[in-house]
Structure 1
Amino acid sequence: MTDILDELQWRGLVAQTTDEAELRQALEDGPITVYCGFDPTAPSLHFGNLVQLIALRHLQRAGHRVIGLVGGSTGLVGDPRPSSERVLKSKEQTAADVERIAVQVRAILSDDSGNPPIFVNNLDWTAPISALDFLRDYGKHFRVNQMIKKDAVAARLNSDQGISYTEFSYQILQALDYLELYRQYGCTLQTGGQDQWGNLTAGVDLIGRVEGASVHVLTTPLLTDSSGEKFGKSAGNAVWLDPSMTSPYAFYQYWINVEDASVVKLLKVFTDRTRDEIVGLERQVAEEPFRRTAQRTLAADVTTLVHGPEATAAVQAASEALFGKGDIAALDRETLLDATAELPGGELSPGDTVVDALVSVGLVASRNEARRALKEGGASVNNAKVSDPEAVLGEQDFLHGRVVLLKRGRKSMAAGRMPEA
């Protein structure tokens, strides 16, 4: 498609714009420069940040220049939440998180098509500004009666806790970023989440007052499932992009388990699949939902984007192996541990009988039940059926010296784990 705004709208990546007609014209007349900021509120980006990075990728591929900003200064202050005050991290911790997040932003936005991104840290231009200069040169352009109307600020003002001046000033800092990027790079579009509308438009207002220029904002919608629950949570935790916080296997499984009612929407948002491809996958959801082809496509594409093709191949092999369609012994140590981490189980050691092992990991309620399962051919060790009630686990059964996979039937499985030395 030649109209990038139409493309973003079809993919469900547009919630609000400051002036759609003007923005559409600017994009058509482009290329323009667009930025999105990422604050180090955690050591890693998460599901919601990925939406912003993908929106930037689409704009980048359409020929526009993109800037990835990491908030070394805004991260020290904290974006006000509607619920409560953020706990401020130390400067050292913030700096460390900035470095980790910058790596992730670079990995997603890196491009070899001749349209490289720009990466910046807002601490570079904020740190040299004195408090007096900040108040005189920038604070004077903001009206408190307008600032308190911002959704998050208004919610906090109406709460018992209130809001600190530190967090209240956040929107000025973010507006300053837009002004600085407008001056340095001619940036005229900022993107962000729908819940950031107030902070984003503060920059539009500041540029209008200081430079007399008209610039734009585009927000992406909050993604929810068919019940209205926010996407991006897994077992109560955020889905992180850092593999040490959400393993590639758990990341892949999150996408595999997406409900049928939402998978087409997520394919549009998170993959580069064409309209024709997505229409075909939508048809398969309707006609053969049991194959979960759309979910497998979604999981593979997003895992490859975030973790690379080798990690995707490894977690796909692990998924197959857990259900007996591959060689579990062939999995590398890290993938094996990730794949079995969420399974129920318990500590086992070489020399334990298979009967006792089945009881210990909770696959059966008693030793007699375990013997019946073995006799009926319904138990396995590392996907190999075991029928001998006297069978004993050997050291070779503990893959990579750590884990043995036990099953009762085809789907009930557990992990026996060697005790830590």
Structure 2
Amino acid sequence: MAKSGFLAEAKARGFIFQCTDEAALDEACATGSIAGYAGFDLTADSLHVGHMIPIMLLRLFQKHGHKPVALLGGGTTRIGDPSFREEARQLLTEEKIAENLVGIRKNLEAFIDFSSNAVLVNNAEWLDQLSYIALLRDVGVHFSVNRMLSFDSVKQRLEREQGLTFLEFNYSILQSYDFRELLRRENVVLQMGGSDQWGNIVSGIELVRRTEQKSVFGLTTPLITTASGAKMGKSASGAVWLSAEKLSPYQYWQFWRNTEDADVGRFLRLFTDLALDEIARLEELGGAEINQAKIVLATEATALCHGRVAAEEAAETARKLFTEGVAAGSLPSITIPAAEFGEGMPAFALLVKAGLAASNGEARRLIRGGGARLDDVVITDEALIVAPKAEQKLSSGKKHHVRVLLG
């Protein structure tokens, strides 16, 4: 049984997969406030639901009086983390990385209180200043290539045709360097990350031990999949973004509302702040009542990301749409310029543009299956040309709706 509030609750909520020295970390957390970090590379201008586990862990860390450090990878993004990826990441320009940083910082500020003890740092501050020869002499000497090659994330890439570039091979060294630098700058003694980061985290701990003669800790979280085995953070139309500019609060709410029955309790523990005894009560609901638990999950998760007002508006929109059959103003919308719409647009093309289908082929299959509707009327003709109107409601199935506006 953990002595510290942080580890006790993290375990109870299902956040912990591996820990390098759990007893010592528990003691450190129980006897005072410590600093711990999780890193986020700047590969897009928004984080998505797949990033929520480390975000919620940092939030829980702060709740129990510790100092969360969110590390933005302005430097490491230039290389790209190769862990368990089939191919190298596309290299981004400096301008795009700077743009992405602004969006991701805004995401994190919704969950973590940086006006308190939390810190947001960018590893470009120190990685940009590195001399290659100095890095090799100071850090590289402490890394065994044999050991690096033994990491599962590296072995899997080496077994593929794509291989692993020398650029990517350096990622583990730079992540380890980050841990040591954060220890020196912010007295960080804990690195948190997904289970795919275990090798990199252990390498950082070893670097600190060798060069600083200090003991630090690593903690990894489990890979989260749905009950049906799907990867968390993806929907039929793509990533479930945290930024309202990329995904409306209603669409975000709807993603959580569509949670599979078997996942409700687990997701309430991981992705909301609800008390564990209340979650246990909701988890016991069965039959049609499980939908009430899903509404609670959707509303609480959306409140954390977009605020309580937006979450309640999304819940009310859903209630009106499904119980009264009327659309509300907070439905996601897309504006299509009149010149682009012309005298009409094929229904399948409109479904793709609205994000209700990933491709023309998928949209055609949706129509053939009777799952597409325009203003609540089933679209039966794949060749239907939708005439321009000031506002129309386009639907995919019973749960996905978009307001199509003429610009």
TM bucket, shorter chain: 0.7 to 0.9
Residue 331 (structure 1) aligns with:
329
Name the structure 2 match of 1:273. Answer: 274
Alpha-carbon distance change, 278 to 304 in structure 1, aligned in 2, over 3 angstroms: same
What amino acid does structure 2 have at the position aligned with 1:363?
V
Shift in CA distance, 57/321, structure 1 to aligned 2, threshold 3 Å: same
Whether the aligned pair in 1 keeps the contact of 2:14 and 2:270 (CA below 8 Å) is yes
Q: How does 1:167-246 map to 2 (within 5 A)?
A: 167-235=168-236, 237-246=238-247
1:75 is matched with which residue?
77
**How has the CA–CA distance of structure 1 residues 133 and 411 changed in structure 2, closer, same or farther, with 3 Å as cutoff?**
closer
Asked if 1 retains the 8 angstrom alpha-carbon contact of 2:46 and 2:242, the reply is yes
Q: Which of residues 363, 372, 375 is equivalent to 2:378?
A: 363
Please name the residue that 2:303 is paired with: 304
Structure 1 residues 261 and 162: CA distance shift in structure 2, 3 A:
same
Please list every run of at least 4 consecutive aligned residues from structure 1 whose deviation after the TM superposition is greater than 4 angstroms. Answer: 340-344, 358-362, 404-407, 410-418
Task: Give the whole-Å Cα distance in 2 for the aligned partners of 1:167 and 1:65.
Answer: 30
**1:362 Cα deviation from its structure 2 partner:** 5.6
Structure 1 equivalent of residue 136 of structure 2 = 135
Distance apart, 1:317 and its partner CA = 2.4
**Structure 1: which 5+ residue stretches go unaligned?**
345-357, 367-394
The counterpart of 1:91, out of the listed 66, 69, 94, is 94
Contact kept, 8 Å, 1:361 with 1:415, in 2: the verdict is no
Structure 2 counterpart of 1:117, one-letter code: A
Distance 1:210 1:283, change over 3 A: same
C-alpha spacing 1:278/1:415, structure 2 compared with 1 (3 Å): closer
Find the partner of 2:392 among 392, 399, 403.
403
1:131/1:282 CA distance change after superposition, 3 Å: same
Change (3 A) 1:133 1:403: same
Q: Deviations over 1:124-155 (max 9, x none)?
A: 01111122222222112111111111221111
- With structure 2 as the length reference, what TM-score do the two structures score? 0.82
- In 2, Cα distance between equivalents of 1:196 and 1:66: 18
1:2, distance to aligned residue in structure 2 (A) = 5.2
Which residue is 1:124 aligned to? 125
* Distance (whole Å) between structure 1 residues aligned to residue 394 and residue 252 of structure 2: 21
Shift of 1:245: 2.2
Structure 1 pair 258–138 and aligned structure 2 pair: CA distance change class (3 A): same
SS at match of 2:378: coil
Counterpart CA distance in 1 for 2:279 and 2:401 is 36
- Is contact 2:37–2:70 with CA below 8 Å preserved after alignment? yes
Question: Aligned-pair distance for 1:403?
Answer: 2.2
Q: Aligned letter for 1:276?
A: D
Q: Tell me the distance in 2 between the aligned counterparts of 1:95 and 1:343.
A: 30
SS in 2 for 1:128: coil
Change (3 A) 1:153 1:253: same
Q: In structure 2, do the counterparts of structure 1 residues 245 and 359 end up closer, same or farther at CA, with 3 Å as the change threshold?
A: closer
C-alpha distance 416-255 of structure 1, shift in aligned 2 (>3 A): closer
Contact 1:35 1:67 in 2 (8 A): yes
Using the TM superposition, give the Cα deviation of residue 95 of structure 1 relative to its aligned residue in structure 2, in angstroms: 1.8
Question: 1:32 & 1:412 partners in 2: Cα distance?
Answer: 44
When residues 77 and 336 of structure 1 are mapped into structure 2, their CA distance, relative to the original with a 3 A threshold, is: closer
**Are the structure 2 counterparts of residues 365 and 119 from structure 1 closer, same or farther at C-alpha, using a change threshold of 3 Å?**
closer
Please report how far the alpha carbon of residue 298 of structure 1 lies from its aligned counterpart in structure 2 after TM superposition: 0.7
**CA RMSD after TM alignment:** 2.8
- 1:320 aligns to what? 319
The residue type equivalent to 2:177 in the other structure is: L
Deviation string 1:314-352 (CA, Å, 9 cap, x unpaired) is: 222221232253863x625xx3527x95679xxxxxxxx
Give the distance between the partners of 2:228 and 2:404, measured in 1 at CA. Answer: 37
Quote the offset at 1:415 in angstroms.
7.1
Instruction: Indicate the larger mover: 316-325 or 230-239.
Output: 316-325
1:256 offset after TM fit, Å?
0.3
Structure 1 residue 217, shift from structure 2 partner: 0.5
Summarize the Cα distance change of 1:111–1:125 in structure 2 as closer, same or farther, 3 Å threshold.
closer
Question: Which AA in structure 2 matches 1:121?
Answer: N
**How many equivalent residue pairs?**
365
Deviations 1:278-329 (A, max 9, x none): 1110122x2x43451111111001101011122212222221232253863x
1:212-243 C-alpha deviation (Å, 9 max, x unpaired):
11100111111122232222210052211112
Over 3 Å counting, the alpha-carbon distance change for 1:296 and 1:20 in structure 2 is same
Aligned counterparts of 1:413 and 1:209: Cα–Cα separation in 2:
54
Letter in 2 for 1:124: E
Q: Deviations 1:139-179 (Å, cap 9, x if unpaired)?
A: 12111111111221111122222111110000111111100
CA distance in 1, matches of 2:177, 2:80: 15
SS in 2 for 1:304: helix
* Paired residues of 2:333 and 2:402 also in contact (CA < 8 A): no
- The verdict on how the C-alpha distance between 1:360 and 1:256 changes in structure 2, with shifts beyond 3 A counting, is closer
User: Is 1:43 paired with 2:25?
Assistant: no
CA distance 1:266–1:365, change in 2 (3 Å): closer
Provide the C-alpha distance between the structure 2 equivalents of 1:156 and 1:305, rounded to a whole number of angstroms: 36
- With over 3 angstroms needed to count, the CA separation of the structure-2 counterparts of 1:405 and 1:126, relative to structure 1, is closer
Instruction: Assess if the C-alpha contact under 8 Å between 2:303 and 2:311 holds in 1.
Output: yes
